Each structure stands twice: as C-alpha cells, then as structure tokens.
Amino acid sequence: MSFRTTPSVDYVEDVSPGSGALPPRAWYASSDARSLSLNGSWRFRLSATAGAEDDSFAEEGYDAGNWAEVTVPGHWVLQGDGAFGSPIYTNHLYPFPVDPPYVPTENPTGDHLRVFDLPSDWPSDGGAVLRFDGVESCARVWLNGTELGEFKGSRLAHEFAVGELLKPGSNVLAVRVHQWSAGSYLEDQDQWWLPGIFRDVTLLHRPAGSVADFFVHASYDHTTGEGTLRVDSGVDGRVLVPALDIDVATGEPVTVAVEPWTAETPKLYDGVLATDGERVPLRIGFRTVVLEDGLVKVNGTAVLFKGVNRHEWHPERGRALDLETMREDVLLMKRHNLNAVRTSHYPPHPAFLDLCDEYGLWVIDECDLETHGFTEQDWRDNPVDDDRWTPALLDRAARMVERDKNHPSIVFWSLGNEAGTGRGLTAMAEWIHGRDPERLVHYEGDWNCRDTDVYSRMYAFHDEVEKIGQQLDGGTHKRRELPFIQCEYAHAMGNGPGGLADYQELFEKYDRLQGGFIWEWIDHGVKHAELGYAYGGDFGEELHDGNFVCDGLVFPDRTPSPGLIEYKKVIEPVHIEGDGANGIVRITNKQDFADLSALAFEWSCQVDGETVESGSLSVPALVAGESAEVKLPEPPVDGRGGERQWTVRALLANDTSWAAKGHVVAWGQFAVGARPLPSFPATDRPVVEEGRITLGPAWFDARTGALLSIGGVEVGATPRLDVWRAPTDNDDGAEWQTDTRYGMLWRTLGLHRMRHRLVSVEAGDDALTVRTRVAPAAREVGLDTVYRWTSDGERLRLSVSVTPEGDWTVPLPRLGVRFGLPEADRVEWFGGGPGEAYPDSRTASMVGRWQSTVDRLQTPYVRPQENGARADVRWVELGGLRIEGDPEFWFTARRWTTEQLDAAQHRTDLAAGDTVWVNLDHGLHGVGSQSCGPGPLPQYFLKAEPVEFSFVFSTTR
Ligand code: GAL
C-alpha cells in the first residue's frame, strides 16, 4: 500500500486567526502612492477537500493553462453555471456537524492563480503590501512561490508585506481558499454560504516614510460651535485642512469654529495628511458621540435612529458588490428618509462607509462574528465563552476598528450578532472601549448590558417596547440607565411589515426609545434561469431555511417593495397634519438637527381625486422639533358636490447629492368634508323569464341567482363571498409562535375550502335576494350570507350582509366578494395608491386617481403570496365595469386565482389564465411581521362579526 503525502492543512481547523499578516490599520487610498488592482480574471481549480492538491501550483512556471477561470472579486459557487458547486442557505444552523473547531473533510477548496506584470515604472524604493479585502472563509497565500501566510475573518481586510518578493515583470500570486474553516464557526450569519475571494485584491506601494496608520479624532463642542481635530499617525507628518486654515503637526490638537457632521447635515472637510512618503486624503467630519442622561447624544442632541439592517447583496454577484451598487443602496436609503444603517452582520466593503460619510447615515459597524448555531446545544462549546478562541475574537474586533476608525458616520461598534454571551465578548468590548473611547459599543445578545452602552433588542413586541420606554422593564441596574434601540425589528419578509407606524409612535413618544433598524434591507434572492429568483432549498441543500433569506425592504433587483414605501412615510422628517374644514395645516420638523430651509412646501386641492388647484405654501424654516400652523387658501367650490381634500407636500427646494429638486420627502392629506356616498334609488323590479332574471342592466341565472352579465359585460363567476387569501410569510408566522400562526390555523379550519350552499333565490318587488350559507366541511363555523340586488334602471347595486355562525376563534383573512371578468387590463381607480396597502401597512397609501394594469397591480414577492390590495377605494373601473363602494373597499385583481397564488413557490409558477379575478373586500386582516416578530396588533384583526356592505356596478362601454 502506498500513501500520497498531502500538504498540511492544520491551519484550516486552527482556532487562531492566522499567521503572517500585518497588524490591522486604517483603510485608505493614498493620493500619490502607487497601487495595482489585481481584480479580474483568475485561473481557478476546485478540489473537493482541503488537502487534495499539493502547493506546487504556487510555484513560478506552473502551467495552469487548462484550469477554469473565475472573476475576482466573486464567489466560485455563483460562477461556472453550477460546475463549481452551489450556494447553501441556512439561517442559524451550521451546514456541517458542530464539532469545533473541526470542519468536514469534504471542504470545497478553490485554488486561485493570477500572474501579473509589475508596471515597469513601479517605484523601486520602499515596500509593498498585498491587501485582501474579503475572502470566505480561509485563505493561504503565496507570492512567487514564497508562502506569505494564511488568514480567516472573511469580511475583514488582511495585508501582507511583499516588497522583498516582488519582481520586475511577471509575478505569480497564488491563493488557496477553503470554504470551511474554524473561522466558519464564527461566521454563522443568516445568509448564503458563499466561498471565494469576494472583495478586491490590491497591491499597494508603500514608499519610505509613508503613513503606516492614522486615527482622525474630530470632535464637536455644541456649546461653542468649535471642533477639535487631532490626527494621530504612526509616522510624523502634517495635517492640512485648507477650508479651516489648519496646518498642524500630527498628534497636535487644533480647535476652530466648524460646521458639525450629522447624518442630516453631513459636512465633510477635505484635508490631507502629508508625511515624507505620501499624501493621504482625509475627509473629516466633526462630531461628538456620548452617552449622557441615559441617551445617545451626538453633538449634544439625542438621535432617533430610523434605520435598516444591510447585508451586502447582489442577485448575481452575491456579496461581491461594485461601487455603483453600494451607491444605489445609499441613495435609496436617503430617498426613503432613512438615517441609519447597521452593517449586519459584518463590516461592509469600506467604500460603503465612505458613502455613509458623504451622504449622511448613522452607522452601527458590526464585527464579523456570529455563533448562532450553538443555540441548538444550549450554547455548549460556544467559542465566545472559550478562551482558546479569544485571540480570534480580538483579532476580528481590531480588524474592524482599525480599518474603519476614521469614518465620522460610525457611532457604534457592534461586537457581532447572536453569539450568546461570554468572556470573549467582554474581552472584545474592553479592547474596543480602550482603543476608541469616542464611540459606543453595541451588542444585542447581552440583555444585562454588561459590555454595552445601549440596551438593544430584536423583535421586541410593541407592548414590551412601550414598557421599556416607560422604564418599567426592570433589568440590571446598568441596563436601567441605558437608552434602548431595536437593532432589528419589523421583519420585512414577504408582504409587510405591518405595524410600523405603531412602533414609530412609541419611538417618538418615549425619550428612552431611540429608534430601530428594520430587518432587513434586501431580499437575498439568487438570480436563476428557471425560477426567477432562487432561495433556500432551490440548490438541493440538505438543510436550508427556504425563503427566510428573502426578507428585505427592496426586492433582489433593488426595486423598492411596498414595505420601503411605507417606512418612508412612517419616518418622514416632517409631519404634516391638517384640519381640512378650517383650512389649517400644522407642520412639525421631526428632524434632530436640521431646520426646514432645505424644503419647499406645496398645497393642492383635489375634487374626487383630481387636482383642481395647487400652489406653494410658505412655511417658516422651523428648527428641529418645532411646529407651526399655516393657513391654507380657500378651497375651490365644486358645483357637483364632489369629495374635496387637501394634499400638502414637502419637497426638496434644491438639488441635493442624493435626490433632485422636487423630490417629495413628506406629505399629508386631509378632507375638506365627508365623502358624499353614492345615492341609489331602487326603481326596477326583477323580471323572471325563461330561466333568467332581468334586473335593470343585468341578467341572472334564475335557478342559482348567479349574475351573468351587466350591460353586456359578461361576468365569468358571480360575485360571491370570499374569505381566503394566499397566506403571507407573516400569516404563516415563525415556527416558535404556535398559537397565533393564522396562516396555519386558517387552513386547519378550512377557510381555503369554503363551500357555498344556496338557500333561496327570491325575486321580490324591488330586489333580487339570494340567500346562502358559506362554511368549511367538517367544522362548526359558517357565514350566513345574503346578496341583495337592486337597480335604478342604469346601474346595479349589490348589498351583501354576512352573519357569522358558531364560535369563530380566529380572525378572517379577508371578507368581501370575488368574481371573474373575461377581459380586463387597464385599471383606473379613485382611492388609495399608487401601491398596495393592508390595514396595518397603509400609511403610505395616498388617496387620488390612479391608473395601472392588472399586471402592474401585482407586487412581485419572491415567494408568491397575498399582495396588491389597494385601500380606501371609492370606485374602480376595469374590464368595462365601474364599481363604486359604500363604504370604501379594498380592491385586488389578478390573472390567477387565490388558490393558484397559494400553491406557487416562485413567481415563475404563476401563469396568466383567461379570467381576471377581482376581489372587492370590505375588510382585510392586518399583516404584522410575525415571520419573526409580532403579528398584527388587535386593532388590525378582521373579526368575524355581522357586517353589511355594498357596491354599485355600471358599465363604462
Ligand atoms: C435575527 C438575526 C438576523 C436574521 C433575522 C431573521 O435573529 O439576527 O440575522 O436571521 O433574525 O431574518
């Protein structure tokens, strides 16, 4: 028997952070020192195990001509059309046996090879550094055949000194990347497992006397209006800030009058740090972050965080993001009124933080640390409570803080996410507090706040949040002294989140509550040829968490979902409320710092949803927190007695870096008077002949009472009671919330299989009355439903009365009628729009005249589910019909049935049929955010109780 010697791969399962890398330091791009990007096409060879191949590929002269190629930055599993394996999605379960620090022998290993030419004018003095900005999860590196070292810490920068090894002409860089390593135990974030060199690889010239590392300290004293700047640098030099006439030595403080940096007013001063060897551009923001009076204050003012959790995601490139995608995220956030971002759950590409500095977003920078899977074994062997791992934890903390310390946008360092509690976390917090006392420390997992400067929680329900706001939550003495944030709340999975406005009300009511961060920014759908977007399980993973990875405020292609539109309205920086009858509007500046001078205001008046007059509104430049009442002009007189309402908008007065002049940041609507309800004299009498009943413009089947047509418009399926909706992710709820998972309870009760029993059809003097009982098989509940049809000769009115029978222990998904139209495409309505709304996610629904098509009414949730309802609809026109509601109703139309929508797993499962299915709902159940949070609040429950509602049908042809 003979054995083949394999290279040692012990480092893969070693708890240490690695060896050979340089100490961490600030990340920056020098103004004059040379650099060479090594991004691009690399040779690539995939092996099934860590030690399958020897390291001869790293030798100069190795012929990799028959290897495949991959793009760096990138993940190999997202390249090669499946030839290089597939992504795996798990939420908190490790996709390998929990046996720390060991990982499976099957350990996909990608050898990467890049031959590059050193530019002929590359300076020969000084040294050079090779920088990796992100490699998942463990890499071993060689340059020109010499091993540089190995490292773990996927989303952190690692540098190696390579000056001695570089050669003129051709150089060979070899990188062996292992998908699994001891580091994987520290990176159990809820996301796809995606191996590869997924961020930039750069060669940096380090001239003699260049800046090794530097730390910008730029504080702001709000009592004097002065900023103090001190730049500490490893190498002495000068600090120049021309706009402030600053020219001081490094290490020397200087105090001058400045404009402070805030997320609302992100004033940056350009400066230079000049040493003998290089000039480094500085972007200085003066601000002071403190914990004072139990509050997080910046520049003396308590901040309300209106934030979001952002993972790095691109549907084709995974976590390999280009600058334009990062900018798109920041612009979308700013345009939707967000002011904060938590970099869940790892430090992002550094360029993202530059954008946060520039455009203005408060940042919680989170360390690349999560050990959530240990919860399955009651946290036994948790690395954060095992001293052997502490060096790795401290290495991660240092790599985050040192890399990112010069960003004014960062106000909190976060130790990581969902890692339980333990000595290692305490060690990290102590180190961070010592290294950077000018920022605060965050970590959610420790509810006693032993190591943190803020009490942070995730998914606390509204009632608990209110208690915390009232200081009635108890807890340790230290915790009681701290402000509260929800680092995650309002799980944006599928249709939802509902209940946002209710949270915001609490945040604004209690000082201790300093806001929160929605979970999460983007759906991590993977672009897929057959499925549209793939989610967990679509790659045949043996363990996975399905579409729990699609829970963002934007769809995978970054189109805003209704959740983002709702959030924008809920957190708008200006509150506009009015007393329409008296023509008074009250404007409140809800910002923390800026006055209203950047905004212009406009009023308009609508009659029946159509704007008839508009003009500009003069509003004083209220300072933050101030309110004023402003008088509106006289409302226009409307001879026809239509419905009149005011709309007041706050718009950007000028172009900004993130949106153009005219961009709407806030709005309010209020009625001049009540809506005049449709009047309807029942004049016609139903006439029965030859199996048909004629009533005004309509024909009915005399035997069943089914409506067949109105004024020649065929009705495919008669309007009949409908209570079912395709359960949303939030209806289905999280597995740990057993008693309120209505999606399942509804199904158990049989609400998706209601039967309609015809009791009677009565053609009376002035009405056709159809009595029915609607109930599921085998259950003791039912809905007595009476349809009463009348006509005024031209139009047809349907009045539905519903009386529940039996003991209804669950709310109804919906209550209304559904019918089919053979042809419909364009839709016009007067009511809430333009997007979808549900009872607890309707703040952004603006009353007006809206137009769309049946296809565009659909909201493309990655996993199909109930969607697309429009709120407060007075009337809608589609398919030749006009339908007016008394009272207003919810309107939905789609080219498939609710049952088909319910059965679909991906959008590609939905095929348009011949019929357009229309739902006119008197009520809908709220949506909540129970996929990982509270269900709808009680006031948004659709209770089964006696109701009556009606619709007037006429034709538009
Ligand atoms: C949290 C976790 C997030 C994500 C979320 C649910 O517990 O921190 O990473 O898993 O739940 O989507």
What is the tens place of the pLDDT at every residue in 4-36?
445 679 999 999 999 999 999 999 999 999 999
- In 659-747, beta strands by DSSP E: 664-671, 687-689, 692-695, 698-701, 707-710, 713-714, 717-722
Average pLDDT on 416-442 reads: 98
Give φ, ψ of 629 to 5 degrees. Answer: -105, 135
Mutation to probe ligand 1, out of 89, 91, 517 (largest number of atoms < 8 A from CB)? 91
What one-letter code names the amino acid at 445?
G
Residue 46, beta-bridge partner list = 110
Cα of 937 vs centre of ligand 1, distance in Å, is 22
Q: What is the mean pLDDT of the chain?
A: 96
Eight-state DSSP code of residue 375: G
Average pLDDT on 235-239 reads: 97
Q: What is the pLDDT of residue 8?
A: 76
Q: Taking 50 as the threshold, does the pLDDT of residue 240 lie above it? A: yes
Query: What does the block give as tokens for 292?
Result: 């004072």
Q: What is the pLDDT of residue 945?
A: 97
Integer Cα distance of 536 and 549 in angstroms? 7
Cα of 792 vs centre of ligand 1, distance in Å, is 57
- Predicted confidence band at 635 (pLDDT cuts at 50, 70, 90)? confident
- Predicted confidence band at 395 (pLDDT cuts at 50, 70, 90)? very high
Mutation to probe ligand 1, out of 193, 417, 488 (largest number of atoms < 8 A from CB)? 488
Q: What is the pLDDT of residue 923?
A: 98
The atom of ligand 1 lying closest to the CA of 91 is 10
Take atom 9 of ligand 1 and give the residue whose Cα is closest: 190
* Cβ–Cβ under 8 Å, residues 174 and 141: yes
Cα of 370 vs centre of ligand 1, distance in Å, is 11
* Cβ–Cβ under 8 Å, residues 877 and 829: yes
Give 676 or 528, the one with higher predicted confidence: 528
Among candidate residues 136, 187, 418, 566, the one labeled active-site is 418
The atom of ligand 1 lying closest to the CA of 92 is 10
Q: What is the pLDDT of residue 4?
A: 43
Mutation to probe ligand 1, out of 92, 189, 190 (largest number of atoms < 8 A from CB)? 190
Q: Taking 80 as the threshold, does the pLDDT of residue 605 lie above it? A: yes
**Orientation of helix 500-509 relative to helix 462-469, angle to 10°:** 10
Integer Cα distance of 424 and 88 in angstroms? 28
Q: Taking 90 as the threshold, does the pLDDT of residue 459 lie above it? A: yes
Take atom 10 of ligand 1 and give the residue whose Cα is closest: 190
Q: What is the pLDDT of residue 7?
A: 61
Placement of tokens 């710092």 in the chain: 593
Query: What does the block give as tokens for 227?
Result: 């900023």
What one-letter code names the amino acid at 293?
D
Cα of 445 vs centre of ligand 1, distance in Å, is 12
The atom of ligand 1 lying closest to the CA of 417 is 8
Cα of 926 vs centre of ligand 1, distance in Å, is 22
* Cβ–Cβ under 8 Å, residues 702 and 721: no
Take atom 6 of ligand 1 and give the residue whose Cα is closest: 932
Residues with CB under 6 A from ligand 1: 91, 189-190, 345, 417-418, 458, 488, 491, 519, 548, 551, 932
Cα of 190 vs centre of ligand 1, distance in Å, is 6
Distances (CA, A) of 591 to 264, 583, 758: 8, 25, 59
Average pLDDT on 774-793 reads: 97
Q: Taking 50 as the threshold, does the pLDDT of residue 1 lie above it? A: no
Helical segments of 76-132, H only: none
What is the tens place of the pLDDT at every residue in 352-364?
999 999 999 999 9
- Proportion of the chain above pLDDT 90, given as a percent: 96
Integer Cα distance of 832 and 4 in angstroms? 72
Task: For residue 418, indicate whether it is catalytic.
Answer: yes
Angle among Cα 497, 500, 506 to the nearest 5 degrees reads 150
The atom of ligand 1 lying closest to the CA of 520 is 12
Mutation to probe ligand 1, out of 187, 370, 418, 735 (largest number of atoms < 8 A from CB)? 418
Q: What is the pLDDT of residue 641?
A: 84
Eight-state DSSP code of residue 654: S
Three-class secondary structure of residue 718 per DSSP:
strand
Average pLDDT on 175-193 reads: 98
- Predicted confidence band at 735 (pLDDT cuts at 50, 70, 90)? confident
Take atom 2 of ligand 1 and give the residue whose Cα is closest: 190
What is the tens place of the pLDDT at every residue in 27-62?
999 999 999 999 999 999 999 999 999 999 999 999
* Cβ–Cβ under 8 Å, residues 233 and 213: yes
Eight-state DSSP code of residue 31: S
What is the tens place of the pLDDT at every residue in 116-153?
999 999 998 889 999 999 999 999 999 999 999 999 99
- Predicted confidence band at 674 (pLDDT cuts at 50, 70, 90)? confident
Mutation to probe ligand 1, out of 89, 444, 447, 932 (largest number of atoms < 8 A from CB)? 932
Cα of 916 vs centre of ligand 1, distance in Å, is 38
Cα of 759 vs centre of ligand 1, distance in Å, is 51
Among candidate residues 13, 312, 370, 488, the one labeled active-site is 488
Which domains does the chain show, CATH number per domain?
Answer: 10-206 (2.60.120.260), 214-290 (2.60.40.10), 301-523+552-569 (3.20.20.80), 572-671 (2.60.40.10), 687-955 (2.70.98.10)
Peptide bond into 73 cis (omega under 30): yes
Cα of 437 vs centre of ligand 1, distance in Å, is 29
Q: Taking 50 as the threshold, does the pLDDT of residue 534 lie above it? A: yes
Distances (CA, A) of 258 to 173, 243, 263, 656: 47, 10, 16, 21
Take atom 3 of ligand 1 and give the residue whose Cα is closest: 190
Three-class secondary structure of residue 606 per DSSP:
strand
Q: What is the pLDDT of residue 717?
A: 87
What one-letter code names the amino acid at 532?
G
Q: What is the pLDDT of residue 747?
A: 96
The atom of ligand 1 lying closest to the CA of 493 is 12
Residue 280, beta-bridge partner list = 273
Q: Taking 60 as the threshold, does the pLDDT of residue 2 lie above it? A: no
- Which helix (H) or strand (E) segment holds residue 160: the answer is strand 158-161
Cα of 459 vs centre of ligand 1, distance in Å, is 9
The atom of ligand 1 lying closest to the CA of 345 is 9
Take atom 4 of ligand 1 and give the residue whose Cα is closest: 190
In our burial notation (b when 16+ CB lie closer than 10 A, e otherwise), range 828-860 reads ebbbbbbbbbbbbbbbbbbbbbbebebeebbbb
Cα of 535 vs centre of ligand 1, distance in Å, is 16
Q: What is the pLDDT of residue 51?
A: 93
Cα of 316 vs centre of ligand 1, distance in Å, is 22
Q: What is the pLDDT of residue 581?
A: 86
Report the chain's C-alpha Rg in angstroms.
31
Cα of 372 vs centre of ligand 1, distance in Å, is 10
Q: What is the pLDDT of residue 580?
A: 86
